[in-house]
Each structure stands twice: as structure tokens, then as C-alpha cells.
Chains A and B, each alone.
Chain A
Amino acid sequence: MKKSYKIDVDCANCAAKMEEATKKTEGVKDAVVNFMMLKMNVEFEDGADPKEVMPRVLENCKKVEDDCEIFL
């Protein structure tokens, strides 16, 4: 399953870090962060519940880049 989220982040480098962090989160198969559109496309593993995975994604992103936000 794929979902798209609006995000807020200040720099392209930080966006790349968010992408890395999201990809490493359990339940996420693949993720692409689009700094220019301030959007994030997340592909979830089969059977993973986005509602449960996304808070973990946000937590991991906050770890690598404090100044970011994902609008869930």
C-alpha cells in the first residue's frame, strides 16, 4: 500500500535524512521524500498498518532532523 503525506522541513539535506530514516523504519517498504513538493510517499510492507507505522516514522525522523514535521 502506498500513501502520501504532507511534510515540513527546511533543507534538502534534512529531507534526504528523513527519507533514510523513514526507509529504515519497521513496516516501511520504501519511501521517497520530495523536498520541492514538501511531500512524502511511503510504501508500506504488506499487512502493516499505516496508522501504527507512521508515528514511528515521525519519531525516527525527529531523531535525525529535529526541525521536521509530518502531517498525519
Chain B
Amino acid sequence: MNKKQKRTLYRILAAAALLTGLHFVPVRGTVRFVLYMIPYLLIGYDVLRKAFKGIKNRQPMDESLLMCIATLGAIVLAVYKDLNGQTGDYVEAVAVMLFYQTGEWFQSVAVGKSRRNISELMDIRPDYANIETDGSIEQVDPDEVETGTVIYVKPGEKIPIDGIVVSGSGTLDTAALTGESLPRNIIEGDEVISGCINLTSPLRIKTTKEFGESTVSKILDLVENASSLKSRSENFITKFARIYTPAVVYSALVLVILPPLFRMFVMGADPMWGSFVYRALSFLVISCPCALVVSIPLTFFAGIGGASHAGILVKGSNYLETLSEVDTVVFDKTGTLTQGNFEVDAVHHCPIEEKELIEIAALAEYASTHPISQSLRRAYGGEPDSSRVSAIEEIAGQGIKATVDGRKIAVGNTKLMRAVGAFYVECPDDVGTVIHVSIDGQYAGHIVISDIIKPDSGKAIHRLRACGVKKTVMLTGDASKIADKVASELHIDEVHSELLPADKVDIVDRLISSKQGKGKLAFAGDGINDAPVLSRADIGIAMGAMGSDAAIEAADVVLMDDDPVKIADAIRIAKKCLRIVKENIVFAIGIKLICLLLSALGLAGMWIAVFADVGVMILCVLNAIRALMVR
């Protein structure tokens, strides 16, 4: 609570105590009127002042004025009754003002609290960077660190600027950026991004970017400005508020004039001016659209904040809205559903231990920088001992011949096998690159290297179906054999293979134009070479954006790591958020219309009207905050 909120709270408590106390004071007439004015002015003086200033500045249609007219009106009615010898009801005016202020106070506290919650979620902004000068460590503003400076990050500190580790190794907590709770291991030479927390040991990092260009600044910038791209729901509310308030105010005027005149001239009955004035005053209290104007943007803000905590950056409320309507998801294969780097998938027809075969192949290929030899090395799991290898001979278009531990090894394609006279076996389900190996002229089996499917891709497709996605499509530049295998394994509905980058845009175009219904199409890719498709789709989702500026730029939704399950998470969060928005719209407008009707008929007093105003607002704000909880 800030100072202003505390002061309002004291005023509310004091006015409530006075009002209760006055109930037991046996006074009448003018003294009573004056006594009741004390709590009224205590609780309402700022509202009165604001209303007055509003009139002066020609901004009359605000809620302060409405509250003033309503409560002052109630007081005038009470005074009128007093003058006619009855006892006027002053409590109502004071109580209405009191409730109004309580509601405003509550809303202010609730919004402040959720604002803090959300900024805590996004508390990734580093406050300083450590620079080593003459052996001592100095803290400086990260903004002042030039590219290429070596910064020092102690355990427990945030990495302030993107860079490369020049000394030290350890583990990083990337949870604030990716939502991934598993710490990441880093060693010398690894690229690290700002916003991660150094967990174990001190690191020296050579910065590769300025602070303003670093990941953490970009993310903060993106999230903070996300709510400026307004959604259709928000625009609807703004328009609605513009019509609703004046409409209700004019209806109130009509209510004061027409029914009494009708009673007087047509029915010949008592016009009941006082009663209709009272009903019109209730109308004014209900007319404030605050519940909607406050809660809808709050819901989107909370949804975006919650999503960013889970490693999903949504660039605007409008994208959150589109995301909730997605019923077709188009994937790029490489890097999205598959890992995008080649891994040893299988070893076939191997008479010796599979591990031994991979070891021999990795040793023979140790000097090569080809991606294939890199994946062999990864599968071997260590640095090959070069002293065991001699007489390496690279045969272009065939492979490598070498002597490993005194044995003559040939590693390569079928041509090489024929050349060394080994009886090779063709690989039956040839969906990757096949590496044949022979030892001393004897065939020793083959290693299949392919781009393997991410462990969570199946789960991702399943989850997408569960959250209402009707159709999944995969696009790839790879051969159809490989594409079909991946698609059938993952139960993807439609596959387009052997595509050039430009073909992908055409296919997305066709998919969008052949779509029926109002469902939207999302495209998910790893952000490399697919920027045009990302922008053509109704919503573009870039994956694995840590460090890739192009992807952050082109996409509407950015997933901080490359886990495809996050696509389903993003849609789920969006749906929840939009459901809350709809709940609030229906609830707030519904209650208000019912209360308007009841008070027009004289069935509801100002108490109900105050509930329709602040009570509904409080409930809507509480409901909106649910969007923050994404798990």
C-alpha cells in the first residue's frame, strides 16, 4: 500500500465509524443534517473536488461527477423530506460515497498488487555489471559497458550483457528467460545470454553486444510494450464505454421526466417526482463502465506477463486474441519438430559392439570437420585419441580410409565399400545418411545418421489436439521419404515435402484461403529462413529465439527455447485469458443491465446500484488476476 492508499483507508474507516456512531445520536432537523455532512465530506471531498475540476475543464462525463450528482441528489431528497416534516435518509448518500471509495481503494490496491506481481515475474533486469580494473572489481551501469569488455559475474548474480565465456565454467539458471527449470551447463567458449543467473562459480564474460541490444533488454522492451497493441476486445470495450455512459445518463434524464408526466396527465395519479429522481440517481451510479475498462486490459496484461514467465513472449494483446482462435498449426520440420542437427539414429548389421563401431568410425573421422563426423564424435561421447589413428586418406565423394589401432578401417558410402571389396548391406529404411564401415576389408555394418525427432514433439501434437487444434501440417525442404516417416510417427495430418523456402509461403497462402470457419492459422518455425512465412501466417511463432534477432523481429509470438510443447502451452494460456475476458464482459454488462432494469422499476435502491458499480468491478479485477496463473 502506498501513502495515498493508506490515507484513503483511514478516511474510509473514520467515515464508517462516524456513520455508525451517528445512528445512535438522537438529534433532529438541521443539527442532524450538519452532523451527517461531516462523514460525507470526510469521505467524499476529493470526489467533489475532482468533479468540480472536471466541469471546469469541460470533461464532465466522468465517474466523480456521476457520484456527486447521485449522492448530492440523495441529500437534496432527504432535506426535502425533512422540510416536509418526515425524517430524511442521509445515511444512504454517505454510505454510497463510502462504498464507492472502498471500491476504488480496493481496485487501486488490487491493480497495484498485480502490477508488482507481474513485474516480479519479469524481474530479469540486471542493475549493474562488474568490471575488473587494476585487480579490483568495480560495479558499473550495464549501459556504460562497451562491446568487447570483459565482465565478471559472481555466483548468484545475473549475467547483465550477452557475451562469450572467456574463463570459468558452471551452471546457469535460465528459468526467468525460458521457463525451463533444469540448469544449463556452460564451459569456456560458450555463448551466454543476459538474464540468466550464474549458479555455481565465478565467470569472466567477454561481451558481444551493448546492453541495449542484449537479450534481456529486448525481452523487457517487448513485454513492456506488448499491451500497446490493443486487441479487438479492448477496442470493443473502449467503444462500448463511449456509448454506454452517455446512453445511461440520458436514460436517467428520461426516467426523471417522462414517467412522472405520464402518471400526472395520462393516469391522473400522483407524479412521484421524488421516487423517479431517486431511481434516476441509481442509474447514474450504475452507469460507470469501470469494471470493464479496468479489468479487460488487466486480464491481457496478466496473461502476457504469465506467458512470459513460462518462456513465451507474446508481442501484443491482439496476438494473444488471435492465438486463442488457432485451429490449424503449420510446422517447419527441421529445428521445430526435429532437432535440426544430425545424430546417430541406429547401427545395423554390426557383428561387433555398436559402441565399438561408433568409436572406430569417430576415430577414423577425427580430423574431419564435416557435420557427419561431428555427429559421430557426439555419439562417441568424448574427444577421440588421435594417437591411435594413422595413415588417414580422404577419398572425395566416398569417405575416409585410415589405420586405427593397427587395423585398416574404411568409413564411407557404398562406393568406398566396393573399392575396398567389402560385402555391404543396403539399409532397408533409408531415411538418413548411411555410413558403411569396414575393418580390414570385412564389412562391419552401417551407422544411420539422421535428424532425429525431438523427444517432446509427439506430446506437443497431442496437446495441440487437446486444446482444440483441428489440423496439423508439416512443411519441409527434405525428401518426401524422410518427411513422411516423421509425419506418420508424430500423427501429423498433412505433409508437404521437397519445398523451396518460397514454396512454403505459397502453401501457407493456399492453406489460409482454403480454410473454412473463422479459425486462425499459426506457423511455427525456428526463425531461420522462414521470416516471410512467419509474417504471412495469421500468427507466426518463432522457436528457440535465444539470441536470434531475426526471429524476434519477424514473429508475433516468441518461444524462448525450442520445446514444441510450448506452442500448445501458448494456445492454452491465450484461451484461458480470452475466456476470462469474455466472462468479465458478459458478467459486468449482464449485472449492470439487470440492475438498471431493477432500479428503473424501483425495485433496487442505491445500495444495489453501488454493488453494480464497484462490486462488479472488484469481482472482475479478481477474475482478471487469474490470467496470471499459467500453470
Q: List, in ascending order, chain B residues with CB within 8 A of A67's CB.
A: 50
Convert A31-44 into 0s and 1s, putting 1 for each residue whose CB lies closer than 8 angstroms to a CB of B: 01011111101000
Task: Provide the bound-state CA to CA distance between A64 and B119, in Å.
Answer: 28
- Chain B CB within 8 A of A1 CB: no
Contact B227 A63 (CB under 8 A): no
When the two chains form the complex, which single residue of A10, A13, A64 contacts B241, counting CB atoms closer than 8 Å? A13
What residues of A have a CB within 8 angstroms of the CB of B298 in the complex? 12, 36
Residues from chain B with a CB closer than 8 A to the CB of A10 are 104, 108
Q: Which of chain A's residues have a CB closer than 8 A to the CB of B20?
A: none
- Residue pair A41, B290 in contact (C-beta under 8 Å): no
Q: Max chain B CB contacts within 10 Å: which of A17, A63, A66?
A: A66
List of B residues within 8 angstroms of A48 by Cβ: none
Shortest Cβ distance from residue B317 to the other chain A in the assembled complex, whole angstroms: 11
B115 part of interface (Cβ distance < 8 Å): yes
A-B contact count (CB 8 A): 52
Bound Cα distance from A11 to B297, whole angstroms = 11
- Distance, CA A37 to CA B301, complexed state (A): 9
By a CB distance below 8 angstroms, the chain A residues around B294 are: 11-13
B224: interface (CB < 8 Å) = yes
Which residues of A have CB within 8 Å of B108?
10
Chain A residues with CB under 8 A of B241: 13
Q: Does A70 contact B (CB under 8 A)?
A: no
Q: Which residues in chain B, 61-101, are within 8 Å of chain A measured between CB atoms? A: 62-63
Known: A32-B228, A36-B227. A16 touches B59 (CB 8 A): no
Chain A neighbourhood of B290, CB < 8 A:
11, 13
Residues of A within 8 A of B293 (CB): 11-13, 16
- Write the B16-50 contact mask toward A (1 if CB under 8 angstroms, else 0): 00000000000000000000000000000000011
**A11→B241 CA distance, assembly (Å):** 14
- A34: B residues at CB distance < 8 A: 224-225, 227-228
Contact A63 B57 (CB under 8 A): yes
> Which of A10, A32, A37, A38 is the most central at the interface, judged by chain B CB atoms within 10 Å of its CB?
A37
Please determine whether A41 and B228 come into contact, CB atoms closer than 8 angstroms: yes
A11 to chain B, nearest CB (A): 6
Residues of A within 8 A of B227 (CB): 34, 36-37
In chain A, positions 4-53 with a C-beta closer than 8 Å to chain B are 10-13, 16-17, 32, 34-39, 41
Decide if the interface of chain B is mainly helix, strand, loop or mixed.
helix
- B53 within 8 Å of A by Cβ? yes
Chain B 310-359 interface residues, beta-carbon cutoff 8 Å to A:
none
Say whether B115 contacts A36, CB under 8 Å.
yes
Interface residues contributed by chain B, number (CB under 8 Å) = 27
The answer on a CB contact under 8 Å between B57 and A64 is yes
Cβ contact within 8 Å between A39 and B224: yes
Q: Collect the chain A residues with CB atoms within 8 Å of residue B62's CB.
A: 13
Residues of chain A at interface, number, CB under 8 A = 19
User: What CA separation (Å) do A10 and B301 show in the bound complex?
Assistant: 16
Q: Which of B49, B57, B115 contacts A38 (CB 8 A)?
A: B115
Chain B contacts for A63, CB-based, 8 A: 57, 59
Q: Closest CB-CB distance, A68 to chain B, in whole Å? A: 11
Residues from chain B with a CB closer than 8 A to the CB of A64 are 57, 59
Complex formed: what's the CA distance from A31 to B57 in Å?
21
B220 to chain A, nearest CB (A): 10
Chain B contacts with A in 208-247, Cβ cutoff 8 A: 224-225, 227-228, 238, 241
A69 to chain B, nearest CB (A): 11
Which residues of A have CB within 8 Å of B115?
36-38
Residue in A closest to B300 when the chains form the complex, CB atoms: A36
Residues on the B chain within 8 Å of A13, using CB: 62-63, 241, 289-290, 293-294
| Closest Cβ neighbor of B223 among chain A residues | A37
Contact B228 A66 (CB under 8 A): no
Distance in Å: Cβ of B485 to nearest Cβ of chain A: 47
**Bound-complex Cα distance A70 to B158 (A):** 31
B281-302 CB contacts (< 8 Å) to partner A: 289-290, 293-294, 297-298, 301
Q: Which residue of chain A has the shortest Cβ distance to B296 in the bound complex? A: A12
Rounded to whole angstroms, the CA-CA distance of A12 and B617 in the bound complex is 12
B118 on the A face (CB < 8 A):
yes
CB distance from B297 to the nearest CB of A (A): 6
Q: Which chain A positions have C-beta within 8 A of B301?
A: 36
B8 CB to closest chain A CB (Å) equals 10
- The contact of B238 among A16, A35, A41, by CB within 8 Å, is A16
Residues of A within 8 A of B53 (CB): 66
Contacts of A66 in B (CB 8 A): 49-50, 53-54, 57
The answer for the CA separation of A13 and B244 in the assembled complex, in Å, is 14
CA distance A66 to B62 in the complex (A): 12
User: What distance in Å separates the Cβ of A61 from its nearest Cβ neighbour in chain B?
Assistant: 11
By a CB distance below 8 angstroms, the chain B residues around A39 are 224
A36 touches B118 (CB 8 A): yes
Closest A residue to B108 by beta carbon equals A10
* A36→B297 contact, CB < 8 A: yes
Q: When chains A and B are docked, how far (Å) is the Cα of A38 from the Cα of B238?
A: 19
Q: In the complex, what distance in Å separates the CA atom of A67 from the CA atom of B46? A: 10
Q: A11-B294, A12-B297 are in contact. List 16 more A-B contacts (CB 8 A).
A: A10-B108, A11-B107, A11-B290, A11-B293, A12-B293, A12-B294, A12-B298, A13-B294, A32-B225, A34-B224, A34-B225, A36-B227, A37-B119, A37-B227, A66-B50, A67-B50
5 of the cross-chain contacts (CB-CB < 8 Å) are: A11-B107, A12-B298, A32-B228, A36-B118, A41-B225
